[in-house]
A and B are shown apart, each in its own frame.
Chain A
Amino acid sequence: MMQVIINGKPEEISTGVTLLEVIETRKLDPTRVVAELNREVVPGERFANTVMNEGDSLELLQFVGGG
Chain B
Amino acid sequence: MMDDLFEIGGERLGSRLLTGTGKYGDDAVIPDVCVASGSEVITVALRRVDFQAATGNVMDHIPKHMRLLPNTSGARTADEAVRIARLARAMGCGNWIKIEVIADNNHLLPDGYATVRATEVLAAEGFVVLPYVNADLYVARDLASAGAAAVMPLGAPIGTNRGLQTREMIRILIEEIDLPIIVDAGLGRPSHACEAMEMGADAVLVNTAIATAADPVSMARAFGEAVRAGRRGFLAGAGLQRLKAEASSPLTGFLEG
The residue from B68, B73, B86, B93 contacting A41, defined by CB atoms under 8 A apart: B86
The residue on A at minimum CB distance from B70 is A63
The residue on B at minimum CB distance from A63 is B44
The residue on A at minimum CB distance from B92 is A44
Known: A32-B59, A34-B91, A61-B87. A66 touches B48 (CB 8 A): no
Which chain B positions have C-beta within 8 A of A27? Answer: 54
Per-residue CB contact flags for chain A residues 27-67 toward chain B (1 = under 8 Å, else 0) read 11101111010010111100000000000000111111111
Known: A32-B57, A34-B87. A67 touches B22 (CB 8 A): yes
CA gap between A11 and B173 in the complex, in Å:
50
Interface residues of A, CB < 8 Å — how many?
25
CA gap between A44 and B90 in the complex, in Å:
8
Tell yes or no: B45 within 8 A of A by CB. Answer: yes
Tell yes or no: B205 within 8 A of A by CB. Answer: yes
Which chain A positions have C-beta within 8 A of B46? Answer: 34, 61-64
Known: A8-B48, A33-B49. A63 touches B22 (CB 8 A): no
CA gap between A53 and B44 in the complex, in Å:
32
Q: Tell me whether chain A's interface is mostly helix, strand or loop, or mixed.
A: mixed
The residue from A26, A31, A60, A63 contacting B45, defined by CB atoms under 8 A apart: A63
A63 to chain B, nearest CB (A): 4
B155 to chain A, nearest CB (A): 13
The residue on A at minimum CB distance from B72 is A66
The residue on B at minimum CB distance from A26 is B51
B binding-site residues for A, Cβ under 8 Å: 20-24, 27, 43-49, 51, 54, 57-59, 68, 70-71, 73, 83, 86-88, 90-93, 158, 185, 205, 207-208
A binding-site residues for B, Cβ under 8 Å: 7-8, 26-29, 31-34, 36, 39, 41-44, 59-67
